[in-house]
Amino acid sequence: LDATYFEQLAEGQHPDFLWIGCSDSRVSPNLITGTGPGEMFVHRNIANLVVQTDMNLLSVLQYAVEVLQVGHVIVCGHHGCGGVKTAMQGHSHGLVDHWLRTVKDTEQYFWRQLEPLDQAARLRRLVELNVVEQVYNLGKTSIVQRAWRERQRPFIHGWVFDVGTGCIDPLTKMIHGDEDVQALCKFARGEAAA
């Protein structure tokens, strides 16, 4: 360990990335990306959701975008997500059901696409659809919209991490404006059945 390691940490942070990921203990942002302390600002919650009324997430986002001026925001889901799996189950789990309602809504919207798949493939696909939905939600926040108008940043990325292989698959192109976000909109694409 470098003798000046903690002194350098104490000087402050200058991350270029905000990571919005799942709380799953197997999904460590720094290990997955090979970044060190101070290189990535991190927000984690069950199923990596971007909920427009989540003041914790919005506070993290505003600080990252407006104060730290990160250049990139990564929404990263992961295969085998327990939150997404819980949302797919038909019985009550208590309080977490309220949090996972948006995942359930995504499952219902894309049901014709998901129904023919076996359970494992359905879970994998819903994890992916959930990431795309969260990228869309992120791009529609007033925080990101304002930042795009004022400085054309941050770029948004939608990724899925495969816990079994260690691979990251990009699910969206690099999003850097409202036109890109609109292209993700399921309603604009009419993508219920596809």
> Do residues 184 and 135 lie in contact, with contact meaning Cβ atoms separated by under 8 Å?
yes
Phi, psi of 20 (to 5 degrees): -115, 105
**From the candidates 22, 72, 76, 180, which is the catalytic residue?**
22
**From the candidates 43, 72, 78, 157, which is the catalytic residue?**
78
* Measured distance CA(78)–CA(113) in Å, rounded: 20
Active site residue 81: yes
- Return the closest-CA partner of residue 138 out of 73, 77, 87, 83: 73
**From the candidates 24, 76, 79, 122, which is the catalytic residue?**
24
Active site residue 24: yes
Active site residue 167: no
**Is residue 170 reached through a cis peptide bond, with omega within 30 degrees of 0 on the bond before it?**
no
Active site residue 76: no
Please tell me whether residue 175 adopts helix, strand or coil conformation. Answer: strand
DSSP assignments along 29-82, one per residue? HHHHHT--TTSEEEEEETT----TT-HHHHHHHHIIIIIS--SEEEEEEETT-H
**From the candidates 81, 122, 157, 180, which is the catalytic residue?**
81
**From the candidates 26, 101, 112, 151, which is the catalytic residue?**
26
> Do residues 117 and 144 lie in contact, with contact meaning Cβ atoms separated by under 8 Å?
no
Record the tokens describing residue 186, joined without a space: 């399921």
126: Cα separation from own chain's centroid: 13
Which residues are catalytic, by number? 22, 24, 26, 78, 81
